[in-house]
Amino acid sequence: MTKHPPEPFRIKVVEPIRLISHEQRVAAIQEAGYNVFSLKAEDIFIDLLTDSGTGAMSQRQWAGMMDGDESYAGAKSYYRLKKSVEDIFGFEHFVPAHQGRAAENILAAVMVKPGNQVPSNMHFDTTDANIRARGGRPVNLVIEEAFDPANLHPFKGNMDLLKLKAFIDETGRENIPLGMITVTNNAGGGQPVSMENIRSVAEIYHSYGIPFFIDAARYAENAFFIKLREPGYADKTPLEIAREMFSYADGFCMSAKKDAIVNIGGLLGVNDAALFQNISNELILREGFVSYGGLAGRDLDAIAIGLYEGLDEDYLSYRLGQTAYLAGLLRENGIGMIEPPGGHAIYVDAGAMLPQIPQAEFPGQSLVVEMYLEGGIRAVEIGSVMFAQPDPLTGEVVYPRLELVRLAIPRRVYTQSHMDYIAETLVKISKRADKLRGYKFTYAPELLRHFTARFQPL
């Protein structure tokens, strides 16, 4: 297995982690109702729950935080962020928000009316829920290849253009207040979207007069995949590629907790001045004044700097290389996953690993619990716990097409020996996978249930 490019940084501050005993792990997961969201972080050895807000900031970002201007309105920090946002994304107006879902909430509040439908390649769960919370319906129109874990299509996050056109014709432009695309496609395996696809999606939306928004959480990783895989982009910088991606859109919403490598923050940008007025009013009601949007001035500085660090080529080579390295170790040991691996995470095919557990008994949840018990590793289920929903018309439960477990890799946090340990743990589990059993809910709320549900082993 070729190793990934060495980390383009050295470690100046360390945070101890420890593996508690197996007995203690058994007690901890029981107490957590077999939901890893309810574990204490100190009881976890390697935390792959998310790559969101878990990255290590650089010395420049920490220095930037000391520069933070905490003025209520018009802070210097806001203007520094504005400069970065305009330079990279190019939208005429933007606001900070406290995180991605806050930006989505504002967007849905001002654009989505009951009965509306919002297409995307695949909405992330919070986007999905924010559209539903306004009475709208999120619709996923990703290409078919996305559902075949073995298919090596280089841009499995692409929108199916024929499906998109058919959907708009069927639904009627008047029922579609905005159209979206998520880069990279987190819910579908962290898969990138090609520039060609972004351009075509924009053309289709615009031919119907539908505003086009990009969910930009992992814009830098997407830009680097375009550089690596799409003809014509090898000689462009990730920054140039990002600029082109956003030049096709009318707006974006973004969690800054991913590719801006900060612990908290979000962004929402648009070109339309009237829409921006509504966004500002809603933001002031929900988040805070337009020049801070629910964040401290120092947070804005960390984002302003992190937006560029996320686009650094040495960083991106190491980042995507580290993910590919872990994928290689699993592949060598016959563990199935979404191929090719995305940028921020490995999506293990739990459905394939645990064929004896039916979807209604949550194979992904079973693997997640086992990873904690075996190695003190926290991963996250992305399958029926997260997505199975009763059909609004028939009431029958609709299951997702894949039962996945995501190993999300925090940015600049774990080393290659951590990757080796993760792979060893999964290999041990895979050797006795036929012994694993399913789970059932003992409690589940209606929206975003995976966060607070409780389970019982079957």
Q: How far apart are CA 69 and CA 392, in angstroms?
A: 48
Sole binder of ligand F0G in the list 32, 85, 198, 217 (CB under 6 A): 217
Sole binder of ligand F0G in the list 255, 359, 365, 384 (CB under 6 A): 255
Q: Exposure pattern of 253-289 as b/e (b: 16+ CB <10 Å)?
A: bbbbbbbbbbbbbbbbbbeeeebbeebbebbeeebbb
Decide whether 124 or 455 has the Cβ nearer to ligand F0G: 124
Whose structure tokens read 């029958």?
A: 396
Out of 43, 47, 51, 125, pick the active-site residue: 125
Q: Among this protein's residues, is 32 annotated catalytic?
A: no
Question: How large is the angle between the packed helices 76-88 and 297-309, nearest 10 degrees?
Answer: 30
Decide whether 217 or 302 has the Cβ nearer to ligand F0G: 217
Whose structure tokens read 């925090």?
A: 410
Torsion of CA 186, 404, 150, 191, to 10 degrees: 0
Q: Among this protein's residues, is 109 annotated catalytic?
A: no
Residue 126 in the binding site for ligand F0G (CB under 6 A): yes
Q: Among this protein's residues, is 56 annotated catalytic?
A: no
Q: How far apart are CA 333 and CA 427, in angstroms?
A: 7
Sign (positive or negative) of CA dihedral 322, 128, 139, 392: positive
Nearest-CB residue to ligand F0G? 100
Sign (positive or negative) of CA dihedral 61, 64, 68, 74: negative
Residue 52 in the binding site for ligand F0G (CB under 6 A): yes
Q: How far apart are CA 198 and CA 177, in angstroms?
A: 18
Is 396 exposed, middle or buried (CB count within 10 Å of its CB: 0-12, 13-18, 19+)? exposed
Sole binder of ligand F0G in the list 186, 291, 323, 430 (CB under 6 A): 186
Task: Give me the 91-120 binding string for ligand F0G, x by CB under 6 A, dash otherwise.
Answer: --------xxx-------------------
Under DSSP, the state recorded for 37 is: G
Decide whether 84 or 430 has the Cβ nearer to ligand F0G: 84
Q: Strands 137-140 and 377-378: what pairing?
A: unpaired
Residue 257 in the binding site for ligand F0G (CB under 6 A): yes
Facing residues of 181 across strands? 214
Residue 50 in the binding site for ligand F0G (CB under 6 A): yes
Facing residues of 254 across strands? 267
Residue 221 in the binding site for ligand F0G (CB under 6 A): no
Decide whether 300 or 436 has the Cβ nearer to ligand F0G: 300
The window from 122-130, 268-276, 349-357, 422-430 that contacts ligand F0G (CB under 6 A) reads 122-130
Sole binder of ligand F0G in the list 124, 213, 224, 325 (CB under 6 A): 124
Q: Among this protein's residues, is 72 annotated catalytic?
A: yes
Please tell me the count of residues contacting ligand F0G according to CB under 6 A.
16
Q: Among this protein's residues, is 259 annotated catalytic?
A: no
Indicate the length of the chain as a whole number. Answer: 458
Decide whether 145 or 215 has the Cβ nearer to ligand F0G: 215
Decide whether 65 or 214 has the Cβ nearer to ligand F0G: 214
Residues in 398-427 at the binding interface with ligand F0G, rule: CB under 6 A? 408
Q: Which residues bind ligand F0G (CB under 6 A)?
A: 50, 52, 99-101, 124, 126-127, 182, 186, 215, 217, 255, 257, 266, 408
Among all residues, which ones are annotated catalytic? 72, 124-125, 215, 217, 258, 450
